[in-house]
Amino acid sequence: MSPSPHTRRLTADFLIVGGGIAGYQTALDLLSLGSVALVSRGSIASGSSYYAQGGLAIPWGFDREAIDSHVEDTIRAGAGLCDPERVRLLIEGAEEAFATLVSYGVPFDRDESGQILFTREAAHSRPRIVHAGGDKTGSYILKTLAQNVHGHERFTFLTPYRLTRLLKGSDGRIVGGLFMDEEGEGWLEVLAKATIMATGGFSALFARTTNPPSQVGDAAAVCHRSGAILERLAFTQFHPTVLDLPGESPFLLTEALRGEGGHVVNSAGERILFRYHPEGELAPRDVVSRALWLEARANPESGLYLSVTHLPAPYLKRRFPQVYSHCLSLGIDLSRDWAPIRPAAHFQMGGIKTDMEGRTNLPGLYAVGEVASTRVHGANRLASNSLLEALVMGHRCVRGISADPEWREKGIEPPPPEEREIPRTMLSVPPDLVSMKMIQELLWEKAGIVRFMSLVLSGREEIRSWLAMMREGPVTAEGALIRNALELSREIFEDLLVAPRVGANYFQGESPAQSGSSTQKKGKE
Ligand code: SIN
């Protein structure tokens, strides 16, 4: 079957899928090697990077002692499951990543004498987090990177599209992707010598999340269908201090608020976290989220709050302008009122398995940023190491691609015609039977902050029964999303049963039915 008339086709040296910080940093570096097509679901505000508040963790001073200390904090927060050598590579890459951003013109916050300002966040043994616009670090970095890329003669931006299929050349190498537009009507085919996934995580698969709704991990599911290995999917990080107001979307109250002296209190004003960890508000994020979950269960009548009323009002307004004004718009003046909080899904430590140059198990396919599992975060990520990973891995991935003789020596081996066919039908579950909301509620309830074996097993059964309802039907964007969400959820539940029970995979109550250490999932065609 030949492509429909609505298919746009183009060829570039490199295809990047995803327009967050990892995608744009990778694009900037790749432009020195060739042409880049970046395909995104929407504007730069459609992904998670844009909303990153806290900042960028760097081992300031960049000497041995500063690097060692940052490495140690990362490994401690990771609940023993980081790869220590890879953590060191990450932290050693911070100097280049930071210097590059400064050279592009990211306006990091400074004091009156021009010295860079640092904040502290939980589980960091010292202040080492740089920030911009107070609590608007993600959007400041992303806008600067995007400004440096858009307008480049070798750069093409394509939106709004979602990946539906990776394209494989006749030699098995990944040579691009097929995309559907957000309405499920138009198609886009991009052929490229290397394809880089930078699509972020899947926290929006959970009913309560700090992420934008688009972050449901559909691109990871598509890569898995082509054979990409996914790993560590059990390790979802839940952020503890997320605004909890009836009828309002969850809104992140940055960990820097605790790092700079904020307290977590119950209705009686008691600081409850010291009951759970000697560092109280500065305990690792997974510990604090679990503590809030346990506290809410033990004392359902008592609310839980973030209190910064003891910090000076002018300082709060200047240092946290976004958080302050958002809360104010909802009737909470942080200088006078406690903010009600409840954890929400925030970040995925696992994803598409890569090495430290972003290589996946599929030749020609790379992954960077949150969509990748590099094992630098272990079972719980240290605060503000995510932007660091996106930037450092962007640089490292391009070095890896640059050193790979394959893409230079070979042209693009076009995929066989059947690979390039535009699907007329697709497998999915009819939306009146299973909705995204049902999947999100299931994951929140059965794969949430504290796991119970009986719930995980019943969650897995429910996902299996929904998958069993899949059948061929018309091609729709919604149908593709549901199929991808179900397939990814199946892998999450499978991983919950075998992943080590530490950090972000904490079980309570019943004893585990199974144990094991391998958490790799090989994809199937
Ligand atoms: C925050 O500002 O609390 C989030 C930063 C992060 O995800 O590390």
Ligand 1 centroid distance, CA of 96 (Å): 21
* Number of C-beta neighbours around residue 310 at 10 A: 9
411 band by pLDDT with thresholds 50, 70 and 90: confident
Q: Check pLDDT > 60 for residue 147.
A: yes
Atom of ligand 1 nearest to the CA of 386: 8
Task: Tell me which amino acid residue 458 is.
Answer: S
Tens of pLDDT along 47-92? 999 999 999 999 999 999 999 999 999 999 999 999 999 999 999 9
Report the separation in Å between the CA atom of 53 and the middle of ligand 1, taken as the mean of its atom positions.
Answer: 6
Report whether 450 contacts 290 (CB < 8 A): yes
Distance CA 133, CA 333 (A): 20
Q: Is 241 in the pocket of ligand 1 (CB under 6 A)?
A: no
Determine the average pLDDT of the residues in 483-496. 98
Structure-model confidence comparison of residues 185 and 148, the more confident one: 148
Residue 12: pLDDT over 90: yes
Catalytic pick from 208, 232, 285, 460?
285
The closest-lying atom of ligand 1 relative to the alpha carbon of residue 135 is 2
The rounded Å distance from CA 355 to ligand 1 centre is 24
- For residue 91, report the phi and psi dihedrals to the nearest 5 degrees: -70, -35
Nearest to 268 by CA among 299, 222, 298, 227: 299
**Could you tell me if 460 and 487 are in contact, meaning their C-beta atoms sit under 8 angstroms apart?**
no
Q: What is the pTM of this model?
A: 0.95
Residue 524 — very low, low, confident or very high, per pLDDT cuts 50/70/90? very low
Please count the other Cβ atoms lying within 10 Å of the Cβ belonging to residue 311. 18
DSSP 284-351: -HHHHHHHHHHHHHH-TTS-EEEE-TTS-HHHHHHH-HHHHHHHHHTT--TTTSPEEB--EEEEES-E
Q: Kindly give the distance from the C-alpha atom of residue 424 to the centroid of ligand 1, in angstroms, as a whole number.
A: 42
Q: Is 451 helix (H, G, I), strand (E, B) or coil?
A: strand
pLDDT for residue 510: 62
Domains of the chain by start residue, with CATH: 7-235+346-417 (3.50.50.60), 242-342 (3.90.700.10), 422-522 (1.20.58.100)
At residue 513, does pLDDT exceed 60? no
pLDDT digits (tens, 9 = 90+) for 209-228: 999 999 999 999 999 999 99
Asked whether 54 lines ligand 1 (CB < 6 A), one says yes
Q: Which residue has the tokens 């806008």?
A: 143
Mean pLDDT score, 318-344? 98
pLDDT digits (tens, 9 = 90+) for 155-177: 999 999 999 999 999 889 999 99
Instruction: Let me know if 258 is a catalytic residue.
Output: no
Decide: helix, strand or coil at residue 501: coil
Helix 477-498 with 453-467: angle, nearest 10 deg = 150
- Beta carbons of 505 and 234 less than 8 angstroms apart: yes
Q: Which two tokens stand for residue 108?
A: 């990091």
